[in-house]
């Protein structure tokens, strides 16, 4: 699977989230403050020009994590998680997000999309998956990651429903097989046609009803090739 880079600066993950992922309620001002963050003048004097943008990005990440994740009561203790996409070539694809590769997935869903179809989509360009669920009056205090059913959109196209799953023996077998891998994609040896892709993701919380996961490129250049948005409407 080839790495896909952003074609323009507007293709970056944060640019996309501002244009299409509408942060709601009282968190709007804080999210705009984070996205529009400008480094202080003393930082610019201390660091060479080539390091200023990296310094600013780091401060944006720290500010986002400290302001937003503390309020979310999340199963994750940091803003970076391990994401694994896997499934039989002719079966449905599953996504798992873990604190680390030894921890039980805090979020595991199965999409209606065939694994081979999603792999093909990712090879042709940036992929943005949006998962939407309904607000339920009888489950007012339910956490976003615990919602059971999601409408699924891939690059704006509706593609069925995703179902939250418990991590059973089959899922653990796959996750343990790729446990030592921090980033990569391929077919699991001895697993038939079980395909997988694993990477680190940056997690951003908009509110109790909106979260996003952005795949992180190891070289730090360009936008992620995969972004996943969770929204309760």
Is 18 part of a structural domain of the chain?
no
The reported pTM is 0.68
Q: How far is CA 196 from CA 8, 138, 205, 220, in A?
A: 28, 37, 26, 22
Is 5 part of a structural domain of the chain?
no
Is 23 part of a structural domain of the chain?
no
Positive/negative CA dihedral, 15, 96, 3, 182 = positive
Is 64 part of a structural domain of the chain?
no
**Rounded CA separation 199/185 (Å):** 9
Q: 23's torsion region: left (phi>0), alpha (psi -120 to 50) or beta?
A: beta
**One pLDDT digit (tens) per residue for the chain, 233 residues:** 333 333 433 344 333 343 334 434 444 444 444 344 444 444 334 334 444 444 444 444 444 444 444 444 456 777 899 999 999 999 999 999 999 888 999 999 999 999 999 988 888 889 999 999 999 877 778 899 999 999 999 999 999 999 999 999 999 999 999 988 889 999 998 878 899 999 999 999 999 999 999 999 876 666 568 999 999 99
CB-based contact 117:105 (threshold 8 Å): no
pLDDT at 223: 59
As given in the structure block, the two tokens for residue 173 are 């077998």
How many domains does the chain contain in total? 1
Residue 138: HSE in the Cβ half-sphere, 13 Å Cα cutoff: 0
Question: Helix, strand or coil for residue 211?
Answer: strand
Pairing mode of beta strands 184-187, 107-114: unpaired
Is 91 part of a structural domain of the chain?
yes
Is 2 part of a structural domain of the chain?
no
pLDDT at 222: 62
Range of the domain at 143: 75-232
Is 69 part of a structural domain of the chain?
no
CB-based contact 188:178 (threshold 8 Å): yes
Is 192 part of a structural domain of the chain?
yes
Continuous segment of H or E residues that includes residue 228: strand 226-232
**Rounded CA separation 66/160 (Å):** 35
CB-based contact 127:225 (threshold 8 Å): yes
Q: Tally Cβ neighbours within 10 Å of residue 12.
A: 15
């Amino acid at each position: 699977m080839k790495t896909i880079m952003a074609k323009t600066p507007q293709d970056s993950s944060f640019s996309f989230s501002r244009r299409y992922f509408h942060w709601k309620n009282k968190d709007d001002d804080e999210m705009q403050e984070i996205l529009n963050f400008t480094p202080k003048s003393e930082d610019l004097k201390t660091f060479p020009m080539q390091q200023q943008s990296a310094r600013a990005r780091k401060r944006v990440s720290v500010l986002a994590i400290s302001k937003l994740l503390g309020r979310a009561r999340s199963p994750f203790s940091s803003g970076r998680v391990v994401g694994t996409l896997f499934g039989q070539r002719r079966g449905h694809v599953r996504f798992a997000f873990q604190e680390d590769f030894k921890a039980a997935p805090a979020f595991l869903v199965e999409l209606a999309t065939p694994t081979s179809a999603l792999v093909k989509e990712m090879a042709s360009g940036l992929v943005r998956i949006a998962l939407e669920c309904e607000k339920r009056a009888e489950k007012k205090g339910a956490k976003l990651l615990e919602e059971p059913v999601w409408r699924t959109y891939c690059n704006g196209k509706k593609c069925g429903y995703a179902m939250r799953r418990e991590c059973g023996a089959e899922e653990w077998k796959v996750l343990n097989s790729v446990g030592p891998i921090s980033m990569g994609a391929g077919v699991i040896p001895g697993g038939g046609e079980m395909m997988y892709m694993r990477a680190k993701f940056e997690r951003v919380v908009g509110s109790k009803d909106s979260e996003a996961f952005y795949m992180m490129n190891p070289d730090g250049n360009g936008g992620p090739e995969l972004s996943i948005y969770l929204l309760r409407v």
